[in-house]
Homo-oligomer: A and B are copies of this chain.
Amino acid sequence: MSELSRRHFLTATAAAAAGSTLPLSAPALAAAPPAPNQVPSAYRYKVGDIEVTVISDGIRTFPLADNFVRNQPRDAVNAALKAGYLPENQVTVNFNVHLINTAGKLVVIDTGNGPAQGTVGLTQGTLASVGIDPKSVDAVVISHFHGDHINGLVNAQGTPTYPNAQVLVPEAEWAFWMDEGNMSRAPEAMKGAFQNVRRVFKPFEGKVEKYGWDKEVVPGLTSVATVGHTPGHTSYNLTSGNGKLFIQSDVTNIPVLFMRNPGWHAVYDMDAAKAEETRRKVYDMVSAERMLVAGFHFPFPAAAYVEKDGANYRYVPINWSPVL
Binding site for B on A (CB under 8 A): 1-6, 8-10, 12-13, 15-17, 20-22, 24-27, 29, 31-44, 51, 53, 56-59, 84-86, 92, 94, 101, 104-106, 119, 122, 130-131, 136, 138-139, 164-166, 168, 209, 211, 213-219, 222, 224-227, 237, 239, 278, 281-282, 284-285, 288-290, 299-301, 305, 316-324
> How many Å lie between the Cα of A219 and that of B219 in the bound state?
55
A104 contacts across to B, CB distance below 8 A: 31-32
Give me the 10 closest cross-chain CB pairs, A-B, nearest first. Answer: A31-B104, A16-B216, A26-B166, A56-B322, A299-B319, A21-B216, A32-B106, A41-B322, A34-B51, A300-B320
With A39-B44, A227-B2 as contacts: A105 and B324 at CB distance below 8 Å: no
B299 contacts A32, C-beta separation under 8 Å? no
Contact A323 B119 (CB under 8 A): yes
Q: Contacts of A4 on B, CB cut-off 8 Å?
A: 224-226, 278, 281-282
Q: How far is the CA of A284 from the CA of B23 in the complex (A)?
A: 33
Residue of B nearest to A284 (CB): B6
Given A27-B164, A215-B16: A323 and B1 within 8 A (CB)? no
Interface-central residue, A16, A86, A219, A316, by most chain B CB under 10 Å = A16
Task: Write out the residue numbers on chain B whose beta carbons fall within 8 Å of the beta carbon of A324.
Answer: 35-38
| Interface hub of A37, A284, A321 (most chain B Cβ within 10 A) | A321
**What are 18 A-B contacts defined by CB distance under 8 Å?**
A6-B284, A9-B224, A12-B214, A15-B214, A20-B216, A21-B215, A22-B168, A26-B138, A29-B136, A35-B44, A35-B324, A37-B324, A38-B321, A38-B323, A56-B322, A59-B322, A301-B320, A317-B317
Q: Closest B-chain residue to A290, C-beta based? A: B85
Tell me if B239 and A130 are in contact (CB < 8 A). Answer: no
Min Cβ gap A83→B in Å is: 9
CA distance A270 to B158 in the complex (A): 63
* Known A138-B24, A209-B25; contact A12-B59, beta-carbon cutoff 8 A: no
A216 touching B17, Cβ below 8 Å = yes
Contact between B237 and A12, CB atoms less than 8 A apart: yes
Q: Which residues of B contact A289 (CB under 8 A)?
A: 10
Q: How far is the CB of A191 from chain B (nearest CB, A)?
A: 26
Find out whether the CB atom of B35 lies under 8 angstroms from the CB atom of A53. yes
Residues of chain B contacted by A12 (CB below 8 angstroms): 214, 222, 224, 237
Shortest Cβ distance from A277 into B: residue? B4
Report whether B299 and A320 are in contact in the complex, using a CB–CB cutoff of 8 Å: yes
Chain B contacts of A36 at CB under 8 A?
324
Bound form: Cα–Cα A24–B272 in Å: 34
Give Cα A324 to B41, complex, Å. 11
B136 A32 Cβ-Cβ under 8 A: yes
Most chain B CB inside 10 Å of its own CB: which residue of A86, A289, A316: A316
Kindly state the separation between the CA atoms of A2 and B101 in the bound complex, as whole angstroms: 29
Instruction: Point out the residues of chain B lying under 8 angstroms from A105, CB to CB.
Output: 24, 31-32
The answer for the CA separation of A38 and B24 in the assembled complex, in Å, is 37
Q: How far is the CB of A99 from chain B (nearest CB, A)?
A: 10
With beta carbons under 8 angstroms apart, the residue of B34, B44, B138 that contacts A38 is B44
